[in-house]
Every structure is written in structure tokens, then in C-alpha cells.
Amino acid sequence: MEDTMGSLKNTEMWSNQEGSYAECTFRGTGVVWYGPVDTIYGIAKVSIDGKLMDDNISQRVNGVDFPGSAAGYDKKYRYPLYSITGLKDGEHTIRIEATGRKANDAKNSYIVIDYLRIIGKEGEEPIRFIINNDYNYPHIAWGNYSKPAILIEDGYSNYVTMKLGR
């Protein structure tokens, strides 16, 4: 399916049919599945090399961005939905399967794949901790408004306070 609003290279793969799946064989030590979240998405299961890893991956967005924004127009792009690292360097296969089940309070059970990112033998993820403290709306939907893109460039600075606890 074409989606020019935020998907990588403007395409996604969709299904809400139980048992439909996508498989990708890759060479590396890990993989990350990226896709959108929204109110019409459901539950997926993921297997690596034929072993079930997780059978309850939800693509349901949690709530709306702000009071007054329109439910059903809250699709958010490029979320890391599943990841695995530490695999033995070599050939592996990831299988993403639609269960046909709706996520809690979802309007449908679609599973959407935007892209996979393969992690090579050179190491694990370079970023271990991310703090998102700003946001933007890349497109306008009913009840929403847009802001300019947030770009991290030379000279960018920001301040955040956080408290970690158990």
C-alpha cells in the first residue's frame, strides 16, 4: 500500500487476515521491525528461526495526542514494534504474522510492516537510551494541527529533567 505521509519510501504492507505473514531472511546479529501504530491495528506474533518469540505485539496507539484530537486520525509512523539482538552472527529468518485479533479497544486487527532494520556483526544498537521531549504533527488531520519538523542539527541544544526510580 502507498502511504506518503510518513512511511519509509512511502509504502507499507498490511493484512488483517489471521495466518497471513511476511518472512525475511537476513544475515546479522539482530533485527528491528518498524511500523505505524493507530486505532485500527491489532495483535501480531513474531518468530525468529522458527521459534515463537512473542505472540502479543500490539500496534494499537495509546490515546490521542492532546484533548480534542480526533480518534482514528492518530496514525504514528516508524515505531520500533519488535527487536532482537545478540543472535549468533549468521543467517536468520524473522516471521511476522497477523493473528486476526484486535488490540484492546481497537477498531480492527490490521498488522502493518513499514520496514526492517538489520543489525550487523559490528555490534549492538549504538543508542541505548532516548528521551523524546518534543513532538510535531507531520500532517494535518481532523482536530489536529501541524508544527514544523524537529531537526537535530549543529548548534541544537535542549534541556530535560528526569527522575529514575524503581
pLDDT values of the chain reduced to their tens digit, one per residue, 166 residues: 777 777 888 888 899 999 999 999 999 999 999 999 888 899 999 999 999 999 999 998 765 555 555 555 668 888 899 999 899 999 999 999 999 999 888 889 999 999 999 998 765 555 556 555 555 555 555 555 555 666 667 777 777 666 776 6
Sheet strands side by side (includes 76-84): 76-84, 30-37, 115-119
Q: Where are the domains of the chain?
A: 8-119
Interatomic CA distance for residues 67 and 86, integer angstroms: 41
State the chain's maximal CA–CA distance in angstroms.
49
Q: Given this model, what pLDDT does residue 57 score?
A: 94
Q: Given this model, what pLDDT does residue 29 score?
A: 92
* CATH number 3.30.565.10 is the correct assignment for the domain at 8-119: no
CB atoms within 10 A of CB 76: 15
